[in-house]
């Protein structure tokens, strides 16, 4: 599974960072970075939580072959 970000929608409010700080980072210039685009299976539950929690619906989790 791959984390896909719609950077046009992301408003850098860091909700996802609060859920998974090892995966998501928002820097001082409000740029979102995804450190693990292909998250390991054992954190997929948390990734889904972050996807669902994003107030801008800017995150998605996709199968690698249709991403
Ligand atoms: S929760 Fe959504 S809008 Fe907020 S920083 Fe993460 S991706 Fe961007």
Q: State the CATH architecture for 2-66.
A: 2-Layer Sandwich (3.30)
Q: Look up the pTM and report it.
A: 0.92
- Taking the domains of the chain in order of start, what are their residue ranges? 2-66
Tell me what pLDDT residue 66 has: 58
CB-CB contact of 47 with 20 (8 Å): yes
pLDDT at 29: 97
Distance 14 CA to ligand 1 centre (A): 5
DSSP strand E in 1-67: where? 2-5, 24-26, 32-34, 59-62
Q: What is the mean pLDDT of residues 11-22?
A: 98
Q: Whose CA is nearest to atom 3 of ligand 1?
A: 10
Long-range contacts of 29-37 (CB under 8 A, 24+ apart): 32/5, 32/7, 34/3, 34/5, 36/3, 37/2, 37/3
Q: What is the pLDDT of residue 64?
A: 78
pLDDT tens for 19-52 read 999 999 999 999 999 999 999 999 999 999 999 9
């Amino acid at each position: 599974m791959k984390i896909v970000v719609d950077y046009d929608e992301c408003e850098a409010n860091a909700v996802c960072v609060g859920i998974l700080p090892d995966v998501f980072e928002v820097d001082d210039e409000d740029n979102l970075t995804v450190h693990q685009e292909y998250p390991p299976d054992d954190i997929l539950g948390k990734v889904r939580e972050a996807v669902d929690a994003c107030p801008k619906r800017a995150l998605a989790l996709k199968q690698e072959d249709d991403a």
